[in-house]
Structure 1
Amino acid sequence: MHILLCGSFDDDERDAWLAELQDALPDARWHLTVTPADAELITAAVVANPRPGSLRGLPNLRLIQSLWAGVDRLLSDPSLPDVPLARMVDPAMSAAMAETALWATLSLHRHFYAYARQQHARDWQQLPQRRADEIQVTLLGTGQMGSVCATRLLALGYRVTGWSLHGGTVEGLSLEHGEDALWPLLARSDIVINLLPLTAQTSDLLDQRFFAALRPGAGLINLARGGHLVEADLLQALACGQVGHAVLDVFRSEPLPSEHPFWSHPQVTVLPHVAAATDMRSAARIAAHNLLALRDGQPLSDLVERSRGY
């Protein structure tokens, strides 16, 4: 089996991925570049945000396996071959995302960001302390990561409601779906966590209308994609108190430019896209499982529905 490995790696990262993938699938022939003689041999590509056009000219390609959970950049490449595309669904990544969501939720709920500002100002002031079951958390996105986050939050006693555009079910979780259901849900939300895929329908969702619909002073946690957030609208919502604090892990431009106002904003916590790093060890084995299924003519896992964008 001939497999192409390509993506936006530096050499060390590429070599580390190659070592894990070779260990998981030792009988495969791995290619880091494509020569004219190799092009017809390659039947699968394992990718991590490859440059546009990287998969052009592979006539026998039968699967594109992403190493990342998000596939919006892949789908934006007009030259992407029309073959099955699988995204990475890794329990290790879901667990890491849930840890970040829990940390941010607890920090908003218990005023830990406010206390950090008070410490800087040497201001001793005890803020009101509410119980977890008095906090309404709204979770945008109820896929694999959202489901794990919801389970962890519910276990701590938070009131959690999931929302998605197209519906679905998650055991033990109250769910709303469709745009009409979003606005009344936001009005009773204390904390909103965004884990939605970035699609044409969800791009710029976190905008002035969205923030105006929130319960005043609500917290925002964006762990999904920078393209969901209209940054200028968030700054206005923070200035008027409609949003109390924002925890942001993803941005339209990464790394976040040094002059960006988020860096120094007292009501914004900036993370450098680290909410859930891909674990090479587990991801390589998940990718190998799909590649073996392709080789053996078995059903493939976690295929992307291109019309939906995830």
Structure 2
Amino acid sequence: MTTLIIAVGSPESNQRWADVFAQLAPKWQIVCWDQVGHTVEADFAVVWRPSIQLFKDQPRLQAIFNIGAGVDGIDFTQVPDSVPVYRVEDAGMAVQMAEYAVYGAMLATQRFMPYVDQQYDKKWEQQEPIYKTEWPVGVMGYGKIGEKVAQTLQLLGYPVSVWVRSERPSPDGMDLFFGSRSLPSFLEQSRILINVLPLTDETRGIVNNTLLAQLPPQSFFINMARGPHVVDEDLLAAIDHGHLSGALLDVFHVEPLPQDHPFWTHPAIHVTPHISGVSLREPTAQQIQAKIQLFLQNQPVSGLVERERMY
């Protein structure tokens, strides 16, 4: 019998995921790590930011499946090289994050904000239209999520360019920049900068003084990747000095965001509690169950994490 162990957070969350997997795979043994610990030896683990104790309790795992696209919450020093780690590919997150990017673009352009104030004053006054050509968008990262974000904004009429770390074919109708040498050229034409990069040693702290200074004046920054991509003090300085008009931030170095963090009260910064792309339980479980079936049949499984790239 295939045994699957769930370790995705609180006992309540573990149980909710276990119930979904039990419906999808009634012949499997589905257990929650908080209930069984080391007393049950599992074949596979479904995880989100797992404790290193899980890997000590479960030394016979054949593979690990992460319920999100980002795997920076896994301590790979505790996972044997022989145990593959797979990430979820989209499962409903890409559309949500595209919606979030559109929300950020609306905040950047102030497309509708004047009408909020006008309603309070019972004021009927049409504002000047927004010319999207004046708001070119730059998307950092072009996986499943970055692709959906870029395509959605392009469909709405924004000029969109993409920056990736290594060369690949150019997306239709978009400029593609790759590698560190092309980053300045990419930034120069990105008035709305959107970060959807994976968090790696290479990308940690990438949004810093040097990067922000290369954006056009009055640019707007949207971060829905990981908090450690950003040097908080540098972002605040860029906004306070007037180079950036503001930012929409969904992810942070410490979550929940500490009550005394200046992001909370800054008038040009919009904070959301890591909701830009939430793993939808049923489609995510379906994808993982299908991946496990392929694994058991010795078939290729997509979403394998390259440890040296952390993606």
Is 1:43 aligned to residue 43 of structure 2?
yes
Q: Matched residue of 1:162: which SS?
A: strand
> How far 1:143 sits from its partner (Å)?
0.4
**1:1-310 alignment, distance < 5 Å:** 1-7=2-8, 9-33=9-33, 34=36, 38-39=40-41, 42-56=42-56, 58-74=58-74, 76-82=75-81, 83-112=83-112, 129-169=129-169, 171-172=171-172, 173-310=174-311
Name the CA distance, whole Å, in 2 between partners of 1:179 and 1:113: 36
RMSD (Å) for aligned C-alpha atoms: 2.3
> How far 1:218 sits from its partner (Å)?
0.3
8 Å Cα contact 1:193-1:220 kept in structure 2: yes
Aligned residues: 306
Aligned in 2, Cα 1:98/1:299: closer, same or farther, shift over 3 Å? same
Amino acid across the alignment from 1:23: Q
Amino acid across the alignment from 1:79: Q
Name the CA distance, whole Å, in 2 between partners of 1:263 and 1:31: 39
Aligned in 2, Cα 1:185/1:17: closer, same or farther, shift over 3 Å? same
> How far 1:144 sits from its partner (Å)?
0.3
- Structure 2 regions of 5+ residues with no counterpart? none
Name the CA distance, whole Å, in 1 between partners of 2:189 and 2:127: 21
> How far 1:188 sits from its partner (Å)?
2.0
Name the CA distance, whole Å, in 1 between partners of 2:259 and 2:144: 34
Q: Deviations over 1:130-188 (max 9, x none)?
A: 31233210000000000011111111111000101113235313211001111122122
Name the CA distance, whole Å, in 2 between partners of 1:125 and 1:228: 41
Name the CA distance, whole Å, in 1 between partners of 2:240 and 2:288: 45
Q: Deviations over 1:86-124 (max 9, x none)?
A: 011124111111111111112212354577689999999
8 Å Cα contact 1:147-1:170 kept in structure 2: no
Aligned in 2, Cα 1:26/1:166: closer, same or farther, shift over 3 Å? same
- Length-normalised TM-score, structure 1: 0.91
Name the CA distance, whole Å, in 1 between partners of 2:87 and 2:69: 5
- Length-normalised TM-score, structure 2: 0.91
> How far 1:291 sits from its partner (Å)?
0.9
Amino acid across the alignment from 1:66: N
Q: Matched residue of 1:302: which SS?
A: coil
* Worse overlay, 214-223 or 173-182: 173-182
* Worse overlay, 138-147 or 61-70: 61-70
Q: Deviations over 1:271-291 (max 9, x none)?
A: 010001110011010110111
> Percent same amino acid at aligned positions?
32
Name the CA distance, whole Å, in 1 between partners of 2:122 and 2:46: 52
Aligned in 2, Cα 1:84/1:77: closer, same or farther, shift over 3 Å? closer
Q: Matched residue of 1:153: which SS?
A: helix
Name the CA distance, whole Å, in 2 between partners of 1:188 and 1:58: 49
